[in-house]
Amino acid sequence: MNTQIATAAEEQCSVVEEINKNIINISENGKQTSQRAKNTSDTANDLGTLASDLQRVVQQFKFSGDSGFDFSSAKSAHLAWKTRVRSFLDGKQSLSHEEAVSHHDCALGKWYYSEALNRYGDVAEIHAIEQPHQQLHSLIREIIKHMESGDTDRAEDLYNEIEPLSGEIIGLLNRVEQKIAAG
């Protein structure tokens, strides 16, 4: 009987050691995954900065047949906002209510309300931009509000709504640009 107890105790020790090794492996894998996610996020932020810098250089050149609006910049701006909000949620960048200007005061809004509606009002898609653009700005302000109040879960949930809105705006800008280019 004592032999059986000793054998069972040894087997249990073996199992416990194996479990401990597995826990250590899982912990190490988790740390590696976390580091890789941070590296990916940092790389995405760096790419966003490089894209903005490149866009500023490209804007220095004017091409004939220019529609008066740089559609490429507008699309890049929406991608940059997504990256900026993600960095804000990750605690890597600050973002204030003042920076999340109204849909009238951002670059796209200024163009939209000062020129686009007058110049391209006959293009149906131009009118369709207003609602998702307004919703995007409202969503960003809500994310800031929830982060400031400590409700990070709700802010993360709201962040997931940015992609479809931004995609819709970019799609509409693409269609407007194509219709303008086609004459």
Domain ranges, residue 110: 63-183
Higher pLDDT pick, 128 / 4: 128
For 127-162, b/e burial (b = at least 16 CB within 10 A) is ebbbebbebbbebbbebbebbeeeeeeebeebbeeb
Within this chain, do residues 76 and 157 fall inside the same structural domain, yes or no? yes
If one counts the domains in the chain, the total is 2
pLDDT in tens, 105-163: 887 888 888 888 888 889 999 999 999 999 999 999 999 999 999 999 999 999 999 98
- The whole-number average pLDDT for the span 156-180 is 92
Taking the complete model, does pTM exceed 0.75, yes or no? no
How confident is the model at residue 159, as a pLDDT? 95
Within this chain, do residues 25 and 107 fall inside the same structural domain, yes or no? no
Tokens, residue 171 = 């799609």
The mean pLDDT of the chain is 81
- The residue behind tokens 């307004």 is 134
Higher pLDDT pick, 34 / 103: 103
pLDDT band of 19, cuts 50, 70, 90: confident
Within this chain, do residues 52 and 139 fall inside the same structural domain, yes or no? no
Q: Could you tell me the CATH number of the domain that includes residue 150?
A: 1.20.120.30
Sign of CA dihedral 145, 149, 155, 158: negative
Within this chain, do residues 121 and 180 fall inside the same structural domain, yes or no? yes
Using CA atoms of 128, 131, 132, 136 in order, give the dihedral in degrees to the nearest 10: 150
